[in-house]
Structure 1
Amino acid sequence: MEGNDAETVNTETTPTTSRRGRKRSMVWEHFTVETVSGGCTRACCKLCKQTFAYSNGSKVAGTSHLKRHIALGSCPNIKNMERQQLALASGMKSNGDTTDLPKKRYRTSSFGSTFDQEQSCTSLAKMIIVNEYPLHMVEHPAFLSFVQSVQPRFNMVDVNVMECEVLSVYHKERLNLMQVFENMPGRISLTIGLWTTSQTLGYICLSGQCIDNDWKLHRRMLNFMMVTSPHSENALSEAIAVSLSDWNMKTKLFTITLDNNCSSHDIYSANLRDHLSNKNTLMLKGQLFVVRCYANILNVIAQDVIASIHGIVYNIRESVKFVKASPAREHKFSEIALQIEIPSMKALSLDVTTLWNTTFLMLDAALEYKEAFTFLETCDDNYNEAPSADDWKQVDVVCTLLKLLYDSANTVMGTIDQTANIYFQEAWKILLELTNATMSEDPMMSSIAKEMHEKFDKYWKDCSLVLALAVVMDPRFKLKLVEFSFSKLYGEDSVGYVKLVNDSLHELYMEYVAQPLPLTPAYMDQGGEANHMNGDNNNPHIGDGLLDFDIYLSEIEVNQSTKSELDQYLEEALVPRTQGFEILNWWKLNSLKYPTLSKMARDVLAIPVSIVGTGCSFFGSGTGTRVLDEYRSSLRPETVEALFCARDWLQHLPIMTELPSTALVKMEF
């Protein structure tokens, strides 16, 4: 009978080793074959002496069940030996036998089939970068022990070598990103972040945002540069000029979004315009050049409002601490709330003082239980932090106004693509509500609202034109929403404000008209599809010998008094406001219909109205001047830049989200 495991053996020794019938499976290192009655044979484990069916006449059971007995630890003797080996490895004494463990042969995926010292060093550097580990972790004894247990052949490098490896990763990814930016069809908008250190030095963080050929929004960190005086008038303009030169973007700058406090904004704006307008062609005479961060203004206003009642906030925080100090107190407080029939379902929570949204939620929940806190003070001698009736009234007013900012921030954060069009509706609603609140008959409401309105109105005056132009590029709103909102804000004076937006819109459009476009929009490069279909990857024209005809058509279009793309777009009916509408996909589908206007829309929608990117919080973190920790402050500036920038870049690579598996895919004996 042919086959590796098919012959019948009449001995208790390992089956025959003849060349034709040799049993090649490694399982026979651990089993013998015994003959039983009826011409049947059974496989007997050499270690535990258990027997398993092997053959019955002409039928052979195979070896899979025998492999499982050895490989999965079913054999009790193997379990004992594994325990003994673990005990020896951990320095414990064992009196058991020292029988060798069965040899296992594993086949891994191709990724882990060979060891590469250089590749392993690169992977280690990327791990340190992405997870923000300290460079000197390569010298930690515990980490060294772990690496040796996983791969003894890996020769661990020292801190200096790992720093060089990090810089190598940075330079490689930077070259890749430069190629990506070179192929971007539109302009680049920048965001500026300020970082300080415990020393007198500081850092300026620059990120670029744009929309690619496939109408996908991208934001990438460009530089993390050390400056001696980050708040000086020239620091920003010089850093931006260096960054634009390094990335070959001198002629592609569109807008700059600043992350700074309100008082220094005017200095930065004037300085940046004067310094850069001489070296760059700014669109719309620089009227859109400087944009203020939307998240920053929300945080500044919210934190100022909370600070205005800091004493009351402290009392409420201490009150919540008192209640949550023990389960018994929480139970007692719940009984009080039930007894006086408080309907609230909100749970008391403590805040994180650096995140104003948590303070708002703490105040908002505590406000629902104000009567319970007052009652608790009368029946518990240990509690004497209950706010007064006037205190609760102030909290009520503050929570009403803070909710406007809180809801707006959550709306923006809930949007997948934070294109510039989403901010206009949020900003004008806040301004309208604050304007109405300033006229409230409640003096407390009016007083707090006036302070908030003053700050937000300054933001609105600086940025309303940018926000309005962006929302016009939304086919669901166009100029109609601008007209509607301005009528609410300005009444009879709204006509003049709408005209300003309309004139700026057409002026900006004419600047894009002056830029060269392919003579025949039908042959424009749309992600390479048009050229591929035409069989020519170098020339957008089909080479049919009708170039003169194309010129003739172009001259006719110029001479004829036809409506512009912009006017056609504005006069068409609004797109329905359906759930799941994707503005970038709409422009992608309509870019052939509006070849010039779509270029303008691409740049306008890519303006980063907030320095906080998608997936990040608006509430405090990352929206003001940040402080570099002591460890990173001690590193060389070029290393700090490499760590920050490479971390941002690597997070967008597929390998960082889908690491290749090195799991065992098959076991053989």
Structure 2
Amino acid sequence: MESISASGHPPTSTDEEHGVEAQGTERNPQTNPMPSPPVVPTKKRKEVESRSIVWDHFEKIRAPPAEGETEGPVVEGKCLYCAKIYKCESKKHGTSSLKNHMNACLKNPHCKDTRQSLLTFNASGTEASEGVLGTWVFNQEAIRRALCEMIIVDELPFRIVEGNGFRKFILVACPRFQIPSRWTISRDIYQIYLDERISLKKLFRVSTQRVSLTTDTWTSVQRINYMCITAHFIDDQWKLNKKIISFVPISSHKGEYIAKALESCLLDWGIKNVFTVTVDNASSNDTALGFFKNKILSWGGSSVRVQYMHMRCIAHVLNLVVQDGLRYAGPSVKKVRDVVRWVRSSPARLKKFREIAVLNGVEAKCALQLDVPTRWNNTYMMLNTALQYQRAFEAYENDASLNADLSDSIPNFMDWLSVQSLVHFLKGFYEMTVRISGFLYVTSNTFFSEISDLGCMLDDMVNSVSTSKKEMGSHMKQKFEKYWGDPEKMNFLIFYANILDPRDKIEYMPAQFAQLYGDEKGKSCFEKVQSSMVLLFNDYTATYHVQSASPTVQSTQSEPVHSQTSVGKPQARMKSQLKKQRMESGGSSKETDLQIYLSEKLVEDEENVDFDVLRWWKVNSD
């Protein structure tokens, strides 16, 4: 029912606008009360902080604040580098002009379009490039790849990119670099691995690169058998490369499983030109290399070169020789090991020992270390360090707890003399192990010289007046003769590599053979080495001669010969045919490269100068 006004007519629009107030006046508030609407307070809009990147390079200039406001709106921006001012009021101008100037400002060091190149010193990590002046241009992808390489080389965790310290460092060093997440870094590193794998596969497939392999197997604490295969090769720049091409679990340490793992790895990489495979002296490796040689022959390998494929690890044999002698080193080594273990077993003892060392004027910089008994070079380092702290150990003998725990195992003066003599004796073997274990440089050219030195050292031990040293030397000599006593059981590549050293060639080899195996046996062995090396050289010459020859070249060379010898010169025709047969078989009337090399003078070996045999061959092959 419509409401009716006091005059009896329906209310008009004017009445409706004021009807609430009029009716509220006429009606009884007790019968029909009408509450007044609540008053909503006006809220000031919250100011949002500007998120534009331009304010990292501009200073905000604000207008005078209005009544009731603390600060006015931003109307202009002043460049932090060149002090130019641009309008930037949000409703009229915006920040487009500021962005354009930020990218074009000549004084902005973070500008992508800087017209003048920045000078810097190249820092590629090599000594040859140090101090070379160059130009620097910001490249997001290059810095990102360098970051991945840093994580790979230094073995850092992926989450380093999310650390506050790293982010602060990048903000100061290169603010424009956008730091990727650890998930992006992991994908980038995996992509680097894939790219390097593709390029290495291309090198192995396209080039006739000879590859030497080293491999070993072991069992982890989880009882899982693993196998690692490393490829060593010389690239076209005459640089030695070392690449791990396989790291896989294997089901067993038996020879057939090792051979299958080698085969699948080489098929995956496309490697067929295998030079040598270096393994330790386990019997399973002999079986594996037997299977593997047959596989190489089926791939088209030369039978002459296959017989030189199995190479026993020189460092492993040396370790067995010295380890066999250390068993008869006497009780002095055990006493020193026990007292070192006792001092290191407690932080309080180690602290007291250091204080005693300082009081007695011990200037040793290396800390005490405990050896692994199965590694003789580790034992040598333990004894050598302990000798430097001899005065500290002698001053520590009065300690009551030491005498209570090691009453019969405290080394006395005679024990220290025995250890000193043993360290002096082991030093030569340790330095020899360090030399032949290098992988950043070629070591095969020194193997025969090292074996000769080892034989002389063992002979001196056997002829020593000291009973203990003589006993050790006799046992080490037996182990030495087991592997290197018969040259027929050795890989002749050890001798060939020594001949290819321009400092030695064959000048000293007859005397070395005579010293190792006697005059008669040494002479026959030297003659066999010479004849076998000529056969190997002829095999390589014939192989690469066939590969380098082409039918077009042969036809162009043979046509003039027939035209000149077809009329009235039968002897010339016969000589031409014999010469052609001799050239095809790898022979020549001239001296071979091997004969020319052996006839040249020796390279003088300067003292205190490291001779780079690869660099020498590179210079002389150009």
Q: Are residues 1:555 and 2:591 paired?
A: no
Q: Which residue of 1 aligns with 2:445?
A: 421
SS at 1:480 equivalent: coil
Distance 2:511 2:446 in 1: 16
Within the candidate set 211, 216, 223, 2:234 is matched to 211
Which residues of 2 match residues 132-171 of structure 1 at below 5 A? 132-134=155-157, 137=159, 156=181, 158=183, 165-171=188-194
Q: Which residue of 2 aligns with 1:311?
A: 334
Q: Which residue of 1 aligns with 2:513?
A: 486
Cα root mean square deviation, aligned? 4.8
- Following superposition, the deviation at residue 387 of structure 1 comes to 1.3
Within the candidate set 233, 245, 254, 1:232 is matched to 254
Q: Are residues 1:201 and 2:224 paired?
A: yes
Q: Which residue of 2 aligns with 1:608?
A: none
CA contact (8 A) 1:185 1:212 kept: no
Q: Which residue of 2 aligns with 1:432?
A: 456
Q: Which residue of 2 aligns with 1:572?
A: 600
Within the candidate set 579, 586, 607, 2:616 is matched to 586
SS at 1:221 equivalent: strand
SS at 2:615 equivalent: helix
CA contact (8 A) 1:471 1:477 kept: yes
Q: Deviations over 1:254-294 (max 9, x none)?
A: 11011x45565544444443554444525535332111223
SS at 2:352 equivalent: coil
Q: Which residue of 1 aligns with 2:110?
A: 107
Q: Which moved more, 1:304-313 or 1:545-554?
A: 545-554
Distance 1:403 1:481 in 2: 26
Q: Are residues 1:361 and 2:381 paired?
A: yes
Q: Are residues 1:351 and 2:355 paired?
A: no
Q: Are residues 1:503 and 2:503 paired?
A: no
Q: Which residue of 2 aligns with 1:40?
A: none
Distance 1:488 1:180 in 2: 44
- What TM-score, normalized by structure 1, do the two folds share? 0.58
- Following superposition, the deviation at residue 207 of structure 1 comes to 1.9
- Following superposition, the deviation at residue 471 of structure 1 comes to 0.5
Unpaired segments of 5 or more residues in structure 2?
Answer: 1-56, 62-79, 84-106, 114-135, 563-575
When residues 356 and 248 of structure 1 are mapped into structure 2, their CA distance, relative to the original with a 3 A threshold, is same
SS at 1:225 equivalent: strand
- Following superposition, the deviation at residue 455 of structure 1 comes to 3.3
Distance 2:507 2:313 in 1: 25
Q: Which residue of 1 aligns with 2:312?
A: 292
When residues 437 and 265 of structure 1 are mapped into structure 2, their CA distance, relative to the original with a 3 A threshold, is farther
Q: Which residue of 2 aligns with 1:450?
A: 474
- Following superposition, the deviation at residue 346 of structure 1 comes to 6.5
CA contact (8 A) 2:240 2:440 kept: no
Distance 2:440 2:144 in 1: 35
- What TM-score, normalized by structure 2, do the two folds share? 0.62
Distance 2:169 2:351 in 1: 44
CA contact (8 A) 1:203 1:224 kept: yes
When residues 241 and 130 of structure 1 are mapped into structure 2, their CA distance, relative to the original with a 3 A threshold, is same
Distance 2:139 2:597 in 1: 59
Whichever residue aligns with residue 310 of structure 2, its letter is V
Distance 1:478 1:253 in 2: 25
Q: Which residue of 1 aligns with 2:50?
A: none
Unpaired segments of 5 or more residues in structure 1?
Answer: 1-25, 31-65, 70-103, 338-344, 525-538, 593-669
Q: Are residues 1:474 and 2:501 paired?
A: yes
SS at 1:516 equivalent: helix
Q: Deviations over 1:520-576 (max 9, x none)?
A: 9xxx9xxxxxxxxxxxxxx99999976756996973974864443323322333222
SS at 2:228 equivalent: strand
- Following superposition, the deviation at residue 581 of structure 1 comes to 3.7
CA contact (8 A) 1:237 1:276 kept: no
Q: Are residues 1:253 and 2:274 paired?
A: yes
- Following superposition, the deviation at residue 421 of structure 1 comes to 0.4
SS at 1:325 equivalent: helix
- Following superposition, the deviation at residue 330 of structure 1 comes to 1.1
Q: Which moved more, 1:411-420 or 1:180-189?
A: 411-420
SS at 1:569 equivalent: helix
CA contact (8 A) 1:125 1:165 kept: yes
- Following superposition, the deviation at residue 238 of structure 1 comes to 0.9
Distance 1:284 1:514 in 2: 12
When residues 480 and 108 of structure 1 are mapped into structure 2, their CA distance, relative to the original with a 3 A threshold, is farther
SS at 1:224 equivalent: strand
Distance 2:270 2:313 in 1: 25
Q: Which moved more, 1:323-332 or 1:169-178?
A: 323-332
CA contact (8 A) 2:310 2:491 kept: no
Whichever residue aligns with residue 564 of structure 1, its letter is T
SS at 2:507 equivalent: helix
Q: Deviations over 1:171-207 (max 9, x none)?
A: 2211111223345444211111335433343332222
Q: Deviations over 1:505-526 (max 9, x none)?
A: 1121121122133899xxx9xx
Larger radius of gyration: 2
CA contact (8 A) 1:350 1:359 kept: no
SS at 1:573 equivalent: coil
CA contact (8 A) 1:350 1:358 kept: no
Whichever residue aligns with residue 580 of structure 2, its letter is E
Whichever residue aligns with residue 447 of structure 1, its letter is E
Q: Which residue of 2 aligns with 1:244?
A: 266
When residues 351 and 373 of structure 1 are mapped into structure 2, their CA distance, relative to the original with a 3 A threshold, is closer
SS at 2:215 equivalent: strand
Distance 1:518 1:286 in 2: 19
Count how many residue pairs are aligned between Structure 1 and Structure 2. Answer: 467
Q: Deviations over 1:287-341 (max 9, x none)?
A: 321112233334444555556666234135248756873453114433xx9xxxx
Distance 2:413 2:166 in 1: 62
CA contact (8 A) 2:319 2:376 kept: yes
Distance 1:392 1:549 in 2: 84
CA contact (8 A) 2:368 2:385 kept: no
Q: Deviations over 1:10-30 (max 9, x none)?
A: xxxxxxxxxxxxxxxx99999
Whichever residue aligns with residue 369 of structure 2, its letter is D
SS at 2:501 equivalent: coil
When residues 406 and 68 of structure 1 are mapped into structure 2, their CA distance, relative to the original with a 3 A threshold, is farther
- Following superposition, the deviation at residue 469 of structure 1 comes to 1.0
When residues 403 and 280 of structure 1 are mapped into structure 2, their CA distance, relative to the original with a 3 A threshold, is farther
CA contact (8 A) 1:431 1:457 kept: no
CA contact (8 A) 1:227 1:235 kept: yes
User: Structure with the greater relative contact order (CA < 8 A, sep ≥ 6): 1 or 2?
Assistant: 1
Distance 1:301 1:560 in 2: 46
Distance 1:262 1:227 in 2: 16
Whichever residue aligns with residue 276 of structure 2, its letter is T
Distance 1:155 1:374 in 2: 58
Q: Which residue of 2 aligns with 1:19?
A: none
Distance 2:610 2:150 in 1: 36
Distance 2:547 2:277 in 1: 32
- Following superposition, the deviation at residue 420 of structure 1 comes to 1.6
CA contact (8 A) 2:215 2:229 kept: yes
Distance 1:176 1:590 in 2: 29
